[in-house]
Amino acid sequence: MATEKDLDLALAAELEKSPEFLSWFVSHTKFAGSGVTFHSCRANHPWGTHPFRYTDETGTEAVVPRQSETDVLLLLKDKNGRIVGVHVENKVGAGKFTHDQVEMYPQRAAHWVGNERYGCYEDFDIVLIAPEMFRERNTRQAAQFPAFISHELIGQHIPLFATSAGVA
């Protein structure tokens, strides 16, 4: 059975080698129809510290440093040479979100804008990829991601995802 890391690597490889798959994948993001092309892709779980803003149990807003990762960071180049990023969170069927993971994604992506370590992207989108059963089990949290692509759909392009989609 494929691990999450196996799937991350397969996704990154297909995004790099197949312009058709890249176009299909990007069509699910806010960059759909913008004519972006592949720039680079990292599936080594880019990690970093970023400020995390939250409201505590008393209703007080606080900011603390948090460390977190992106499973796959896809960088695209638009027609004007501008770099944009797509942060991909990959979950397997038996997976679960960690504490504050969903809330950290947009804050981390925004913090990484312009950072050379993460490709100096100027704009970003965030995509959750997971089996449909994962999304059904985690409806509230999954709905907070701007985009969702099921493993079942990706499996039509990358067979490894088709075999992983039924993992309970």
Alpha-carbon distances of 132 from 74, 77, 110, 117, 141, rounded to whole Å? 22, 30, 27, 33, 13
Look up residue 97 and give its DSSP letter. P
Would you state the pLDDT for residue 56? 75
Q: Please give the chain's pLDDT, 168 residues, in tens.
A: 789 999 999 999 999 999 999 999 999 999 999 999 999 999 987 767 767 676 777 888 866 677 778 899 999 999 999 999 999 999 998 888 988 788 888 989 999 999 899 999 999 999 999 999 999 999 999 999 999 999 999 999 999 998 875 543
What confidence score (pLDDT) does residue 168 get? 35
The pLDDT, as a whole number, for residue 68 is: 78
Residue 131: C-alpha distances to residues 29, 38, 113, 142 (Å): 18, 25, 29, 11
- In degrees and rounded to multiples of 5, residue 139 shows phi and psi of -55, -50
Domain residue spans of the chain: 4-164
Identity (one letter) of the amino acid at 38? F
| pLDDT given at position 103 | 87
Backbone angles phi, psi at 130, to 5 degrees: -170, 160
Q: Are the C-beta atoms of 50 and 65 separated by less than 8 Å?
A: yes
Using the CB atoms, write b or e for 93-115: b if 16+ within 10 Å. Answer: bebebeeeebbbbbbbbebbeee
